[in-house]
Amino acid sequence: MSSKPISVLITGANRGLGLEMVKQMVDTQSPLTPLSVLFACCRDPDGPRAEELRALAKKHPDIIKVICMDTADRSSIRQSAEQVGSLLGEKGLNLVINNAAILINSTLVDSTPEDMAKTFNTNVIGPMSVIQEFLPYLRAAAKNSEVPGMSCRKAAVVNMSSIIGSIENIQAIQKYLTAVPYRISKAALNMLNACAAFEFQKEEILFTVLHPGWVRTAMGTAYAPIDREESIQGVLQVINSMSEKHHGVLTDYKGQTINW
Ligand SMILES: NC(=O)c1ccc[n+]([C@@H]2O[C@H](COP(=O)([O-])OP(=O)(O)OC[C@H]3O[C@@H](n4cnc5c(N)ncnc54)[C@H](OP(=O)(O)O)[C@@H]3O)[C@@H](O)[C@H]2O)c1
């Protein structure tokens, strides 16, 4: 029996891991096929940093819809939710990937209140606002599904976090990177996910956290051991295999559970 087409939304889809997700998802070999629509969100869809995304959207006009969304700006998130809602119809939205984030690499001594506020605004308040604004469409998808349980084909939010937000792993990681505002923001994102997992359990909307590995992107730097293709191949397989076992859990791109 073939799977029903699913609708997906990705934030920060114009470069790095977000763009790689878009690339791999429109490939017919992707584990997440078939797609009905892929909302590729970015804050400057007409600017030079979205050139590759625009070219990809031109190649797949029936699937990729480029949407303007600044995840540090609540009114921009609300406007994009209205736009997405008008394109979606009644079936709702199956999968939201909160991917956009920033990293300020400062120590505790160097971190300013502005660094912290900016990082929290994008990495924590952004994903929270996305969850809130897109909740009606996730709820519609969960209600419309005839399948019991949880999955990304029903209604799910994947929050892209990082092992470096793990308090338990601090000893192992501190020597490579300080990035205090970023690490605190990812620990907070993990808690946001835990709260959402608790609150939406009964509605069978899956909330999960993923660590994509240390990857060669602008954020991950050229020193990272793995490339985008490898990371996202793993990420998409993990997302596709998710069930209620992943609800409220932090997993890496290989499907291994990570301690908080
Ligand atoms: N790379 C790694 O090694 C690694 C490891 C662990 C976790 N992660 C996580 O994986 C995700 C993707 O990381 P990446 O490596 O792809 O980072 P990246 O190359 O720096 O890309 C970040 C993306 O987020 C977007 N973004 C930032 N602020 C935004 C805002 N206010 N509104 C909309 N978009 C915004 C950027 O768009 P602009 O072009 O407009 O700036 C860009 O598309 C992040 O959540 C990151 O924390 C990455």
Token pair for residue 73?
A: 């700006």
Position 99 scores a pLDDT of 98
Q: What distance in Å separates the CA atoms of residue 200 and residue 244, rounded to the nearest whole number? A: 12
Residue 19 belongs to domain spanning? 6-101+123-163+183-252
Contact 236, 31 (CB under 8 A): yes
**Which pTM value belongs to this model?**
0.97
Pocket test for ligand 1, best of 56, 99, 128 (most atoms within 8 A of CB): 99
Nearest CA to ligand 1 atom 39: 49
Per-residue CA distances from 51 to 19, 44, 57, 64, 182 (Å): 11, 10, 10, 14, 27
CB 115, CB 106: distance < 8 Å? yes
Residue list, ligand 1 pocket, CB within 6 Å = 11-12, 14-18, 42-44, 49, 70-72, 99-102, 122, 160, 162, 211-212, 214-215, 217-220, 224
Sheet of strand 64-68, all strands in order from the earlier edge strand to the far edge:
64-68, 35-42, 6-10, 95-98, 156-160, 206-211, 250-252
Q: Would you say 52 and 14 are in contact if contact means Cβ atoms under 8 Å apart?
A: yes
Q: Rounded CA gap, 70 and 111, in Å?
A: 24
Atom number in ligand 1 closest to CA 17 = 16
The confidence score (pLDDT) of residue 175 equals 66
40 torsion bin: left (phi>0), alpha (psi -120 to 50), beta (else): beta
Domain assignment present for 67: yes
- Which CATH number goes with the domain that contains 66? 3.40.50.720
The verdict on residue 170 lying in a domain is: no
Residue at 237 is within a domain: yes
Q: Looking at the domain assignment, is residue 107 inside a domain?
A: no
**178 located within any domain:** no
List per-block mean pLDDT (blocks of 10 residues) for the chain, which spans 260 residues. Answer: 86 98 94 95 98 98 98 98 94 97 94 97 98 98 92 97 87 76 96 97 97 97 96 98 95 94
pLDDT per residue over 76-131, tens digit each?
999 999 999 999 988 899 999 999 999 999 999 999 999 999 999 999 999 999 99
In the block, tokens 């709260």 appear at 195
pLDDT at residue 1 in the model? 47
113 Cα to the center of ligand 1, angstroms: 21
Q: What is residue 88's predicted lDDT score, i.e. its pLDDT?
A: 94
Cα–Cα distance, 172 to 214 (Å, whole number): 14
pLDDT at position 174: 67
Domain count, the chain: 1
Q: Which of 80, 98, 183, 219 to mutate to test the pocket of ligand 1 (most atoms within 8 A of CB)?
A: 219
